[in-house]
Amino acid sequence: MGIWESARKHPKLICSGIALPSRFARFPLSQFLIFRFSTFPLSRFPHFSLFYFSLLSIVDFPLRSAPFRLLRSRQLMTKVATPFLADADSEFYLPADAFFRANLPTALTFDDVSLATLYSEILPKDADTSTSLSDALRLQIPIISSDMDTVTESRMAIAMALNGGLGLIHYNMSAKEQVKEVARVKRHIHGLIQDPITVTPDQLIGDLLSMIEMKRFAFSTFPVVDPQGILTGLLSGNVVKDRYKTKKVAEVMTPRAQLITENEAAVAKDPITAADHFFSAHVGLNKMLVIDDAGRLRGLVTISDIEKITNELKSRRKPARDSQFRLVVGAALSPVRTASGELDRNKILSHVGHLVDEELDVIAVSTAHGHTAGVGDVVKLVRGAFPDLTIIAGNVTSAAGVSFLADCGANAIKIGQGPGSICTTRIVAGVGIPQLTALHVASVAARAKGVKLVADGGITKSGDIVKALSIGDAVICGGLLAGCREAPGEIMEISGKVYKQYRGMGSLSAMKAGSAARYGHDKNDSSQKVAAEGIEALKEVSGSVDDVLGNLIGGVQSGMGYLGAANLAQLRSKARFIRVSPAGQKEAAPHDVIEVSTRTSSA
């Protein structure tokens, strides 16, 4: 017998413990009231077994014409469908704390979980992906290129910053060369070039040609100054030619009296806007020379730089710049030690000092095991000498590790031990925690200490980034960027396909090149055998960083749209997780079809 037939047959309907008069059984049953199962003593409700029809009772009665009486009717009618459905969602889809506790003692990574969608009024294109690593450093996108010698040097760092992210320049090079790499990024596009390359009136054009060739300058126009720095003219590239090599600069330059200049007081507040107005007012000029009241040269602005910057301002994804309109950049720092095994404090402070002189934005103390006395000492040392410098430290996978590095002075903590595609730490050393569980455990301490979390490793697709950002503040990518033409790896062709070299910093070749300290070894110590914790591999060339980041950020914004998250803070607060079975993982990917690829890649 069905529910409705049973309800009609019985003289009374039991509704949330309330008896309805039997006359209501004659009314047509077409309106829904939704209630829950309950159990009742048989002695009180002889017409029913161990449960009553409160799960789905359909009652239709004419409210105007038929008299009716329903005890506690006001309380009953408030139990509508929405709370019940919301309770069903909350029972299956859990916030991070409840979800990871429910899955103890199993540790989970990205493919083990999926995020539940929510009501949304957010279009993906409107989702704000900006994040911060400290009060002083804000990024437009939450993606950082890894400090690996086959991923990030100045070219990659420039591309990352132009797309709103950050590049961490590796330390498998001399200290002097790392400083130069940082300088290349900071001087890539200048709003106001405060130290332009100048020439003197008595120099020969032939000498300038030799200097341009030796230093590989991509320009040939120079301000002309006297020994006191007073602007005396401008040497145009049109006359820097071999036919004029015997002439002096003073003979062929445009004299000061014919130049249109700008006072530094007029451009100090906003050189970009001031230069934009200058070039609009003076048609045909492509250099703005900035002088002080005494006539000394204080800077140079080019129209090409201004046009690039103003075009960036019109784009939706803005570059990551510092307060002086320079691109942001970071550098990795090795815990250098003396022959006795002690930290070489003077060498560390000297190197960081040179990086800071080049306006470095962030230093990353990068080791495989960050919860150590040595790493803590380096962080304390740098923090004490440079109180305003943003410091990233790691790597750890525990709340205790996060708390330790935060107390030492780090602003952001790198999470991840062994999740990378070319890392073998978990196999070689038997340590490491699957990445998503490690992130959640670390987030407990991060919230308490007020520091940021950076997920380092294990990212293979944009969906992984969304899941990582549901707990952390940013991600570090290596393998996803190693195939880009901006990466420094060697290019090779195999069977008609083009590949780039990609190696773990724990591989033997990388450690011999300088990263041994990252794994607690000395590259100069040949008396002990070094256990590699990484491999060497190849990545197929994937095109430009612009294309790769465009696809990744598009996926992140889609994920935010599905959760109704306008920004990353809302993504973290709204995220609800559910465990995915192996069959569910298979279902998530394209299956049971032959995929036709229309992608194109260029080296």
What's phi and psi for 434, nearest 5 deg? -50, 140
In order of 6, 12, 26, 44, 156, the CA distances from 22 in angstroms are: 13, 5, 8, 16, 79
To which residue do tokens 């009024």 refer? 121
Beta-carbon neighbour count of residue 367 at 10 Å? 25
Element containing residue 13 per DSSP (H, E): strand 13-15
Tokens of 260: 């249109």
50 Cβ contact partners less than 8 Å away, ≥ 6 residues apart: 39, 40, 42
Active-site pick, 155, 326, 518, 576: 518
Tokens of 454: 């950076």
Active-site pick, 423, 484, 485, 576: 423
Spatial contact of 565 and 574, defined as CB atoms under 8 Å apart: yes
Strands (E), 449-593: 452-456, 474-477, 491-494, 497-503, 536-540, 577-579
Tokens of 468: 């990582």
What's phi and psi for 167, nearest 5 deg? -115, 135
484 is catalytic: no
518 is catalytic: yes
Q: Which of 118, 117, 100, 101 is nearest to 109 (CA)?
A: 100
Q: Report d(CA 382, CA 309) in Å as an integer.
A: 33
Q: Which of 94, 137, 141 is nearest to 113 (CA)?
A: 94
Tokens of 504: 């773990």
Burial class (CB in 10 A: 0-12, 13-18, 19+), 147: buried
Q: What is the largest CA-CA distance in the chain?
A: 118
195 Cβ contact partners less than 8 Å away, ≥ 6 residues apart: none
CA angle centred on 492, ends 487 and 497, rounded to 5°: 100
Which residues form the catalytic set?
A: 423, 518
